[in-house]
Structure 1
Amino acid sequence: MMELSQNRKIINVGLVAHVDAGKTTTTEQIMYLAGNIRKIGSVDKGSSHMDYCEIEKKRGITVFSEQTTLKWKDTEINLIDTPGHTDFSSELKRSLNALDAAVLIISAVEGVQAHTETIWNLLRENKIPTLIFINKLDRVGADLDRIYSEIEQNLTRDFLCLHKAYKLEKDFDGIVDLLEDTYYRWNSYDVFDFEKINKSEDEDKIKLIEKLADKDDYILEKYLNGDDITKNELVEHIKSNIESCDLYPVLLGSSIRGIGINNLLDGLCNMLPKAKENLDGDFSAFIYKVKIDESIGKLSYVRVINGTIKVRDTLYVEDEDGQAAEEKVTQIRKYSGEKYTVVEKLQAGEIGVLCGVKNGKIGDIIGTEKSGTGYECLGTGHKSCQNGQAVFNHVIEEKTQISSQNGQVSSIQKQTVQNQTVGTGNEFYNFHKNRQASLTSASVLISKVTAKNEEELSQLLNAVKILNVEDPELNFTWNKDKNEININVMGFVQMEVLKQIIKDRFNIEVELEKPRVNYLETINKVSRGFCHFEPKKHYAEVEVEIEPNERGKGVEFVSNLSVDILPLQYQNNIEKAVFEAVKHGTLIGSSVTDIKIKLIDGKYHLEHTHGGDFRIAAIRAVQKALSDNENILLEPLYSYKITVDKEFSGKVMSDILKMNGTFEDPIANCDKITIKGEVPISTSMYYPIEIASATSGKAVVNMNFSRFSLCHNEDEVLANTKNVIDKDETLYNGVSLFREKRKMKKVK
């Protein structure tokens, strides 16, 4: 096994938060303190360096994830600023694949909100070490005790307070670092203008040590023996518990006033795990984002796993036919917001942008070796690769988390029962295992896109295709017969933003029609599907078994088939195809979820079999299995939190019941009532507007996608032809094609 380089200190960190928690302001202060910018930008004034897009400036929210690289002391920090609005969570999810760690920012006033919980769950499912930064302690209404209680109740009990604040709201002027026994006090709104005062808080430090001792045997033993525990020992053992996601440090500050930013940067460098990658191995990287640039073409944002890539190097990317396509890197960029610098190379642990990778797609793994990284591992995103080789033990069981509670693709499970070790090195595998964020999660709404000028339909189609490359969760469909374009969206804000983006980027004015709910399908029993595909000079045979999966687990693929029966290359073709097969079910043609698909058998022909043959055979085998099963419809639910005056609490609860929702026991706070629960999106998507009108705008409503559950009105949904999703009937069927006496015979 090759040694990992420990000389460089690189960390890839994502800043994540509920909208308006101060995430972009924190990024601005970090960039200013590190010397990347000379003047701090403002979100309110539309001058922030990371939110440079016009739509972001107008709305004052982050829509696109952006990156910057800065140097702090001896560490290179690659910072990714992610969207905080739930409608743009797909950008956040894709960015998770590039991260070594994350900073979750929570407002000391608004506290833990619904989307904060969603983000936290994503971080936990992807096992990303996380530092919590409580911001806005200078604001009126800041309440640390309440925030700590909300973190404990809604996120985790395993948080570790490393700071203490003496004052809050307008008097907030600094923090005590419990590890350093130092009071950092700011004298002005200048991030540099602070003084350090020796200050010990013994009681709080003992609480810190006791909480660490609950997780760490070494610290526990020293504490029980009454031995002195040095600062270095505390830091090292806190660091190891953070890396294993057993503890989550909590820091304090006010980004708008620059308080605690230097402590936050120190925490990133001293507490969070660095990138550990193989500099000497052959190049491999993960594409976590794609943008289309008018002048240079496709920009592939990558996290480099192994090795080094240089300008004019050749690498391999999986093309549309599942083959290894040769690509040449024409330019390498390092971005800082809108601006970029051209560099000659990217090395393991870094993130950057490759130009010239025409076939690269979000989720692809690319490499400089054709075998392994460039072919077998490419695009699957979950096998162990090093030096262009795939790694398989006698029995390998891999689980790669693909999504959270969105109810679609949540994991891939693959077993290879055959001793076929062809390489070593689990660095790549350990990085990527359980770290694959949702690439194909189910958006909850579907909207039809129409051009105001009908003559611009072809231009609109091309524009939507480009946007779909950049955000595959749009999952656009094109019905030639109806001249109809449909896209998947998460909410109304995203619809408004897309409308503006199409106008600004492509000069096309469009309308997005009133959305309908995006339902999913699942199954209720075990069934098998078989397809023999043998047109002239083609051959493939696939048999699968499907069974119900746990609700919310998504789609799992399992292969127990020996590579002596069916070569690994063809098993990979089948694996990729089954996830394409579940894009359409048998009820209304919507995506299928919560299902396990097991490869039972497969056959190939040495001369006539092509990779594409197994794609068709696998899709039809799955479709056959679905048609012989009991299919069920699932609907998306909102989780909601509604706060109203007491006089309106009865109305809210009555409305929720009418919408087929549920609610927990109401929480009273002075003259306000807070009601939490779940409700079908189909009945409640316009409720925030309705309750705002009924309460003269005094209601505080927070609604976020929660999960998919059994549809409360399945018969009604199935009877409505507007809910039917178009699919390619020539592909999505259970028909087998046999050749008998030089003639084709169809068998259903």
Structure 2
Amino acid sequence: MRSTDIRTGIAAVRNLGILAHVDAGKTTVTERILYLTGETHRRGEVHEGTTVTDCHPQERERGITISAAAVSCAWNGHRINLVDTPGHVDFADEVERSLRVLDGAVAVFDAVAGVEPQSESVWRQADRHGVPRIAFVNKLDRAGADLDATVAAIRERLHPAPLAVHLPIGRESGFTGVVDLLTMRALTWDGGPDGDDLRHGPVPDGLRAEAGRRRALLEEAVAGLHPAALEEFVEHSALSTATLAAALRDLTRSGEAVVVLCGSAYRNRGIETLLDAVTAYLPSPLDVPAVRGAGQAGEEERAADPEGPLTALVFRVNVTASGRLTCLRLYAGTLRKGDTVLDAGTGRTERIARIMRVQADHVELETAVAGDIVAVAGVKAARTGTTLCAPGAPLVLEPAVTAAPVVTVAVEARRSVDTERLAVALARLAEEDPSLVVRTDPETGQRVLSGLGELHLEVAVERIRRSLGCEVTVGRPQVAHRETVRSGVTGHVHRHVKQEGGAGQFAHVVLDVAPPAGPAGQEEGEGFVFASTVTGGRVPTEYVRAVEAGCRDALAEGPLGGHPVTGLRVVLTDGATHPKDSSELAFRTAGRLALREALRACRMVLLEPVAEVTVTVPQEAVGGVLGDLAARRGRVRGSGPARPRAAVWVYGRAPPLRPLSRPPDPGGPLTALYERILRADPG
């Protein structure tokens, strides 16, 4: 194939994700896209456990998406690589890793519930990655569905400029189609309750005036945001369909506005128009900025050029008993079966045994070029966030940021013979999901598993049980606390002297320890500041770096309960060396021991993570829930009537911390209460 043909193919690629709150209909939208594009011949249903993307047993049993699943399909000459992301807060890191490699996204909203807490969370994640979005308001066939209320909530709570291009035909159970405000044509879906047949026709008489009014409002809104559209609007007091479509594309890709469509995925209504909007408005790999990374000569750019040096980022690893599957996003170059690639982080080379078109739980053999999302076999050591590149042109791309764990459990095998198998299973889990952290408690010898929530850990433990075929014992969930300095000490002196024959170890350091200048409670790794005021060369620069490394070692365990320490400033004010016995190892040891001693002399406080909780319950249960929240030291900011909805809670990727005024609540986290409500009223 000629190079120009390949670049034309790249322009027809769309890499996008489906983002939404849990139960908004992400997986159903994905299933209808696969069915409509001919990739599947039967519509999968979440409640039946027959969906393609929810391919793991736990996903089908629970009826939720746990792992981001990638599928591929074709529509009107375009190749669409689609990632169905989880909607539950405990799996927000899956969304983060997916957004790192996507060029666009479809945000799905429930027409009854509107903008929900996790909708805001994933929207902010997409904002951080600069991913353009279009909005799809789903479930317009349900009682209480309201497109206008959802659009108003998008404007008020997410703060983009929502541009609705559809006017619904019919309400609730009578919803049968939409008026396309660009073409001013009616699109209706016939064929019974499944609405398989799309028909184009004139706007119904009863909606002509309303459709005209909304078209005029759409033109005015677009003209106010797009300079070229404004010129035409000033001259003609209207916008042509071509100008309006081009302006919508520019505004979507720049992030200044979001196009809003509507439909009912379960009834197969609105999927064709959604696919048309994806291909028309969302960018191709050629439309996004060139990827930047650290190369041999400093920062470098790699454009989506199939003739350029290979550059790919690993965003998912799936380890099974039959082998290892690595999912890649290719940013530049061409990848062929049998190629040797370089792990830019470790310098290790890997051989590509197979290249497969990602298709959730089944794949097909393909050759990959820039802009593709594929799975490869044969890569043995690459982890999530690893950059694979051409051996002669190394480049390291920035990986997705992994959230710090907030809940911990101890996991043990019931039979001693399964101990080693359990260790292997835990290591495999941590390799697939970087937000799971496995460590061994130095005092008890227990293996400790940390994650982003109780459901996150529950799913992980169940996977271990199924993979091992044996029972494991799980301890009670514990909140991941932190320790910080409330008031510090100055002039703490520590002399490290060790002599056992031959060259010894000598280091003398003087430290000041205090809270940081900014607010305490930052995420671990962001709340530690080290500085040196030593003059006259009393402590050489290389030894100063060793003291800092030793202080960072000491942050792993605080004096109150062995929790990680955050939110402090350490200043090396003085020190001394020995002409023979001083070394970097000696000063690193001195820094670690000195800070441990200084922390014991400081006034320390225990921190706990703070979650923002949104609860919706029947009116008769409000008093009991408010009392329970108050008993758990919850602060109620307000209450009022809302649409019927199950209880949910949301906290950001790095939850804020607050001082713990009393020992941890023996009743456990709030999760149990709200999971009971969720089971009683699943929405």
Give me the TM-score of the superposition, normalised by structure 2. 0.78
User: Which residue of structure 1 lines up, in the alignment, with residue 298 of structure 2?
Assistant: none
Residues 559 and 585 of structure 1: is their aligned pair in 2 closer, same or farther, counting only changes over 3 Å? closer
Alpha-carbon distance between aligned partners in 1 of 2:453 and 2:469, rounded to the nearest angstrom: 23
The Cα of 1:146 is off from its aligned counterpart by 2.7
User: Which residue of structure 1 lines up, in the alignment, with residue 471 of structure 2?
Assistant: 509
Partner amino acid for 2:647? V
Q: 2:91 aligns with which of 74, 88, 91?
A: 88
User: Residues 554 and 592 of structure 2 are in contact (CA less than 8 Å); yes or no, is this contact kept in structure 1?
Assistant: yes
Alpha-carbon distance between aligned partners in 2 of 1:311 and 1:368, rounded to the nearest angstrom: 14
Q: 2:369 aligns with which of 329, 333, 347?
A: 347
Alpha-carbon distance between aligned partners in 1 of 2:660 and 2:555, rounded to the nearest angstrom: 23
User: Which residue of structure 1 lines up, in the alignment, with residue 540 of structure 2?
Assistant: none
User: Which residue of structure 1 lines up, in the alignment, with residue 353 of structure 2?
Assistant: 330
User: Residues 318 and 360 of structure 1 are in contact (CA less than 8 Å); yes or no, is this contact kept in structure 2?
Assistant: no
The Cα of 1:580 is off from its aligned counterpart by 9.0
User: Which residue of structure 2 lines up, in the alignment, with residue 272 of structure 1?
Assistant: 282
Alpha-carbon distance between aligned partners in 1 of 2:446 and 2:149, rounded to the nearest angstrom: 50
The Cα of 1:622 is off from its aligned counterpart by 12
User: Which residue of structure 1 lines up, in the alignment, with residue 214 of structure 2?
Assistant: 204
User: Which residue of structure 1 lines up, in the alignment, with residue 314 of structure 2?
Assistant: 287
Alpha-carbon distance between aligned partners in 2 of 1:53 and 1:704, rounded to the nearest angstrom: 25
Alpha-carbon distance between aligned partners in 2 of 1:348 and 1:458, rounded to the nearest angstrom: 41
User: Residues 70 and 360 of structure 2 are in contact (CA less than 8 Å); yes or no, is this contact kept in structure 1?
Assistant: yes
Q: 2:411 aligns with which of 442, 449, 460?
A: 449
Q: 1:116 aligns with which of 119, 122, 140?
A: 119
The Cα of 1:254 is off from its aligned counterpart by 0.5
Residues 466 and 645 of structure 1: is their aligned pair in 2 closer, same or farther, counting only changes over 3 Å? closer
Residues 218 and 474 of structure 1: is their aligned pair in 2 closer, same or farther, counting only changes over 3 Å? same
* Counterparts of residues 37-116 of structure 1 (less than 5 Å): 37-116=40-119
User: Residues 586 and 626 of structure 1 are in contact (CA less than 8 Å); yes or no, is this contact kept in structure 2?
Assistant: no
User: Which residue of structure 2 lines up, in the alignment, with residue 494 of structure 1?
Assistant: 456
Q: 2:341 aligns with which of 315, 331, 336?
A: 315
User: Residues 447 and 515 of structure 1 are in contact (CA less than 8 Å); yes or no, is this contact kept in structure 2?
Assistant: yes
Secondary structure of 2:53's match? Answer: coil
* Counterparts of residues 117-196 of structure 1 (less than 5 Å): 117-188=120-191, 189-190=193-194, 192-196=196-200
Secondary structure of 1:497's match? Answer: helix
Alpha-carbon distance between aligned partners in 1 of 2:79 and 2:67, rounded to the nearest angstrom: 23
Q: 1:641 aligns with which of 604, 614, 621?
A: 614
Deviation per residue, 1:702-729 (Å, 9 max, x gap): 22335644434256469x9x9xxxxxxx
Alpha-carbon distance between aligned partners in 2 of 1:580 and 1:165, rounded to the nearest angstrom: 60
The Cα of 1:34 is off from its aligned counterpart by 1.0
Alpha-carbon distance between aligned partners in 2 of 1:631 and 1:259, rounded to the nearest angstrom: 59
Q: Any unmatched runs of 5+ in structure 2?
A: 287-302, 532-544, 574-583, 669-683
RMSD of aligned residue pairs (Cα, Å): 4.5
Secondary structure of 2:83's match? Answer: strand
Residues 645 and 30 of structure 1: is their aligned pair in 2 closer, same or farther, counting only changes over 3 Å? closer
Deviation per residue, 1:551-579 (Å, 9 max, x gap): 7864559999xxxxxxxxxxx99999999
User: Which residue of structure 1 lines up, in the alignment, with residue 650 of structure 2?
Assistant: 704
The Cα of 1:643 is off from its aligned counterpart by 3.1
Secondary structure of 1:235's match? Answer: helix
Larger radius of gyration, structure 1 or 2?
Answer: 2
Partner amino acid for 1:367? C
Deviation per residue, 1:473-515 (Å, 9 max, x gap): 1111123663411111333333332232112222232232220
Partner amino acid for 2:309? D
User: Which residue of structure 2 lines up, in the alignment, with residue 681 of structure 1?
Assistant: none
Alpha-carbon distance between aligned partners in 2 of 1:172 and 1:638, rounded to the nearest angstrom: 38
Deviation per residue, 1:502-546 (Å, 9 max, x gap): 1222223223222011123456799999999x999x9xxx99999
Q: 2:224 aligns with which of 195, 210, 214?
A: 214
Q: 2:332 aligns with which of 292, 306, 316?
A: 306
Secondary structure of 2:456's match? Answer: helix
User: Which residue of structure 1 lines up, in the alignment, with residue 434 of structure 2?
Assistant: 472
User: Residues 499 and 511 of structure 1 are in contact (CA less than 8 Å); yes or no, is this contact kept in structure 2?
Assistant: no
User: Residues 73 and 80 of structure 2 are in contact (CA less than 8 Å); yes or no, is this contact kept in structure 1?
Assistant: yes
User: Residues 548 and 594 of structure 1 are in contact (CA less than 8 Å); yes or no, is this contact kept in structure 2?
Assistant: no
The Cα of 1:32 is off from its aligned counterpart by 1.0
Partner amino acid for 1:160? L
Partner amino acid for 2:649? M
Residues 46 and 153 of structure 1: is their aligned pair in 2 closer, same or farther, counting only changes over 3 Å? same
Deviation per residue, 1:134-173 (Å, 9 max, x gap): 1111112212233223323322242111111031211100
User: Which residue of structure 2 lines up, in the alignment, with residue 438 of structure 1?
Assistant: 401
User: Residues 342 and 394 of structure 2 are in contact (CA less than 8 Å); yes or no, is this contact kept in structure 1?
Assistant: no
Residues 192 and 644 of structure 1: is their aligned pair in 2 closer, same or farther, counting only changes over 3 Å? closer
User: Which residue of structure 2 lines up, in the alignment, with residue 461 of structure 1?
Assistant: 423
Alpha-carbon distance between aligned partners in 2 of 1:211 and 1:550, rounded to the nearest angstrom: 41
Alpha-carbon distance between aligned partners in 2 of 1:285 and 1:618, rounded to the nearest angstrom: 42
Alpha-carbon distance between aligned partners in 1 of 2:530 and 2:393, rounded to the nearest angstrom: 21
Residues 254 and 668 of structure 1: is their aligned pair in 2 closer, same or farther, counting only changes over 3 Å? closer
User: Residues 585 and 623 of structure 1 are in contact (CA less than 8 Å); yes or no, is this contact kept in structure 2?
Assistant: no
The Cα of 1:270 is off from its aligned counterpart by 0.2
The Cα of 1:221 is off from its aligned counterpart by 3.5
Task: Provide the identity percentage.
Answer: 28
Alpha-carbon distance between aligned partners in 2 of 1:619 and 1:318, rounded to the nearest angstrom: 32
Count of matched residue positions in the alignment of Structure 1 and Structure 2: 609
Deviation per residue, 1:69-90 (Å, 9 max, x gap): 1111122110011112222222
Secondary structure of 2:358's match? Answer: strand
User: Residues 544 and 625 of structure 1 are in contact (CA less than 8 Å); yes or no, is this contact kept in structure 2?
Assistant: no
Residues 50 and 668 of structure 1: is their aligned pair in 2 closer, same or farther, counting only changes over 3 Å? closer
User: Residues 23 and 87 of structure 2 are in contact (CA less than 8 Å); yes or no, is this contact kept in structure 1?
Assistant: yes
The reply to whether residue 263 of structure 1 matches residue 210 of structure 2 is no
* Counterparts of residues 580-659 of structure 1 (less than 5 Å): 588-591=561-564, 633-659=606-632
User: Residues 309 and 393 of structure 2 are in contact (CA less than 8 Å); yes or no, is this contact kept in structure 1?
Assistant: no
* Counterparts of residues 3-22 of structure 1 (less than 5 Å): 5=7, 8-9=10-11, 10-22=13-25
Residues 327 and 496 of structure 1: is their aligned pair in 2 closer, same or farther, counting only changes over 3 Å? same
User: Residues 440 and 446 of structure 2 are in contact (CA less than 8 Å); yes or no, is this contact kept in structure 1?
Assistant: yes
Alpha-carbon distance between aligned partners in 2 of 1:159 and 1:91, rounded to the nearest angstrom: 26
Residues 15 and 586 of structure 1: is their aligned pair in 2 closer, same or farther, counting only changes over 3 Å? farther
Alpha-carbon distance between aligned partners in 2 of 1:668 and 1:358, rounded to the nearest angstrom: 54
Alpha-carbon distance between aligned partners in 1 of 2:119 and 2:15, rounded to the nearest angstrom: 21
Residues 613 and 163 of structure 1: is their aligned pair in 2 closer, same or farther, counting only changes over 3 Å? farther
Alpha-carbon distance between aligned partners in 2 of 1:599 and 1:97, rounded to the nearest angstrom: 39
Alpha-carbon distance between aligned partners in 1 of 2:329 and 2:455, rounded to the nearest angstrom: 30
The reply to whether residue 713 of structure 1 matches residue 679 of structure 2 is no
User: Residues 585 and 626 of structure 1 are in contact (CA less than 8 Å); yes or no, is this contact kept in structure 2?
Assistant: no
Residues 35 and 593 of structure 1: is their aligned pair in 2 closer, same or farther, counting only changes over 3 Å? farther
User: Residues 581 and 618 of structure 1 are in contact (CA less than 8 Å); yes or no, is this contact kept in structure 2?
Assistant: no
Alpha-carbon distance between aligned partners in 1 of 2:631 and 2:311, rounded to the nearest angstrom: 54
The Cα of 1:349 is off from its aligned counterpart by 1.0
Partner amino acid for 1:449? V
Partner amino acid for 2:236? G
Alpha-carbon distance between aligned partners in 1 of 2:394 and 2:646, rounded to the nearest angstrom: 53
The reply to whether residue 242 of structure 1 matches residue 252 of structure 2 is yes
Q: Any unmatched runs of 5+ in structure 1?
A: 383-435, 561-571, 601-611, 675-698, 723-748
User: Which residue of structure 2 lines up, in the alignment, with residue 413 of structure 1?
Assistant: none
User: Residues 552 and 592 of structure 2 are in contact (CA less than 8 Å); yes or no, is this contact kept in structure 1?
Assistant: no
Deviation per residue, 1:608-659 (Å, 9 max, x gap): xxxx999x89996997899598765432222222334545434433433332
Deviation per residue, 1:639-689 (Å, 9 max, x gap): 2223345454344334333322211232146xx9x9xxxxxxxxxxxxxxx
Partner amino acid for 2:51? S
